[in-house]
Structure 1
Amino acid sequence: MIPRRLFTSLVLAAVLLGHAPARAQSPADVALARELFREGATLAEGGRWAEARERYARSLALKRAPLTLYSLGVASREVGRLVEALESFRAFLVEMDPENATHKSYEQPARDAITALEKRVGRLDLRIVPAGPRALAVRVDGLDVPQAALGLPRIVDPGEHGIVVRAEGYREAKATAKVGEGEQIKVTVKLEPIHAKGPGPVKPPIVEGPEPERPIAPIVLLAGGAVAFASGLTVGLIGVQKASDAPVQDGPEAAEARRLALAGDIVGSVGILAAGAGAAMLLLGKPQDTPAESSGISVKPFVTPTGVGLVGRF
């Protein structure tokens, strides 16, 4: 807590400064600035630093005075606004009157405060990727960051800070950064183009499994059909030969020959159908995990005294 004697001195100094010819101001503004300064001093004496800071800031806005800057620095430091406090003390050293004994008495305390605050403030090193986009606008804690300040460490109060970046042709980017006392951190904000293509479809992983089974049924049908056709052709030719050798057209030899020819036609037709079905199944790539009976087709070989063949069912 600042002693009452100190604040009395500050008030008296502010009154004296009210008559300094720094710049033309209305008497009403000067009087109001003086009253706000007195209120701030009273609040600070009672430890009500947030309210005191508000009064000092308003007083400074009405009339800029070195001791108001110093008092604002003290109040800002007490409420944790270290950057504002640091700049207030620096401004006091710039604007103080070296010939003014009251100002001179606060010069060393201001320098000591600056040294301590420079070690306590945080630093935020903000980088934008890609660099140099058009119409770049950066805000930290709701305040615009000048273009000239980008790419350089920026002093900030310890704590969490919100960052918003906008640029022509890019989506708005937001980030947060938490900075401790005396800490410097680097934050990189990556901008995403508005018309950027999204990630392509994810290819499913290639899983190597066992080799597929060979299509047995189509091969059996194709081979069996070929055998049946050959057998039918053979039986048919035998029947034709016997019919030619028969002594009479209506005798038993001729009847037997006709039966053989008919059997040859049937077996040959079955062979053609079976071979066609097998070829179609191979061409269409139909899975063949079941025997030929599952497709409604059965082929059985037979042997007779006159030859061999296959019997098919469709």
Structure 2
Amino acid sequence: MQALDTRIPSLVLRIEGAPLKSVAVTIDGETILPTLVTMPRALNPGEHEVVVKASGYQTLRKKVTLPEGQGPAVEVPVVMVPERQEVASATRADTSEGAPKWRTYTAIGGLGLAVVGLGVGVGMTVASNGKADEANRIIDGIAYGTDGCRAAECYDKWATAATDRNYMRGAAIAGYAVGGAALAGTAILWFTTSRGAHPQGTTKVAVLPALGGGEAGAVVVGAF
């Protein structure tokens, strides 16, 4: 029996972070009395599972391997962590993981809107220029008699072409404005959310229509 005793190791728990009276400990599923929690406990050599619970704290599980042979008790440090820290960490993780997703989806939508708006602007500009050329040809035909149409008929054609040109020019301006605003808004969102909020008043953007020389467009100006 004495030879067997020399082969049995022991462990002792060193619990920190929570009052000992609130701690419930099991070793290999066996409940340890509160008064014996911090006392050395003889166990068979091999692996053992230590579970420590306390109200308001995270449950701690540890695997401890005890070597064969009697000697100093193997100390097992146990540091109890309040549950609120776990909740706070999970909230921060959810926020950090969720932000890039909505930012990316919003940026994709904004870029899509910008492409559509600018595409409409370019298309309507080309069409408007075509109608302007048509109106000019009609005027030249009236002036030089090259179209062979009666004056009233030619004036009606010119009026229709000029009206279409104005409508298309207006649509081009709207397309450029929408596309420019979407592009500027997407850029602001992307850079402000990736680098943190700017001080109040440091980000200013304006989208202005630009006309001249039979062309239409939009100018984005601002400070970031």
- Give the shorter-chain TM-score range: 0.3 to 0.5
Greater C-alpha Rg: 1
Question: In proportion to residue count, which structure has more strand?
Answer: 2
User: Could you state the TM-score of these two structures normalised by the residue count of structure 2?
Assistant: 0.46
**RCO higher in 1 or 2 (8 Å CA, sep ≥ 6)?**
2
